[in-house]
Amino acid sequence: MAIRKSHKLPQAVMIKKILKRCSSFRKKKSYPEDVPKGHFAVYVGENRTRHIVPILWLNHPQFQGLLKRAEEEFGFCHDMGLTIPCDEVVFESIISLMKWVRH
């Protein structure tokens, strides 16, 4: 039985890449001013609706699941912003639950 090597990034590495990308946007002043410190923008659904989410959510298991789906579908090396590949209603349900249930 051969062991297959996964090309997926460990979660800690993935989170660090996202944080680095968010902070580098702010340094370049290309990051929108309406995104408060400690937050970042994600784009959700077919219409790419923009949501501002706290960086703390990167540690939340449900949000990490969304990030894994984003990595599988788009990767993290693109210039179209962090896009979450799920229906907007599903995303809003997940973030609503995350607000009520503390990790």
* Token couple for 42: 């994600």
Dist CA 10 CA 101 (whole Å): 25
Across the range 28-51, mean pLDDT stands at 82
What does the mean pLDDT of the chain come to?
A: 77
What is the predicted pLDDT for the residue at 4?
A: 46
* 3 state SS of 32: coil
What is the predicted pLDDT for the residue at 51?
A: 93
Query: Which residue did the predictor score with more confidence, 17 or 58?
Result: 58
Under 8 Å between Cβ of 49 and 10 = no
Parent domain of 45: 32-100
Task: Please state the domain count of the chain.
Answer: 1
Total-model pTM: 0.65
Dist CA 84 CA 47 (whole Å): 11
What is the predicted pLDDT for the residue at 44?
A: 94
What is the predicted pLDDT for the residue at 31?
A: 53
For residue 91, pLDDT over 90 is answered with yes
Spatial strand order in the sheet of 82-84 = 49-54, 39-44, 82-84
Q: Is residue 27 part of a domain?
A: no
Q: Is residue 16 part of a domain?
A: no
What count of residues does the chain have? Answer: 103
Q: Is residue 2 part of a domain?
A: no
Q: Is residue 9 part of a domain?
A: no
Q: Is residue 26 part of a domain?
A: no
What is the predicted pLDDT for the residue at 98?
A: 82
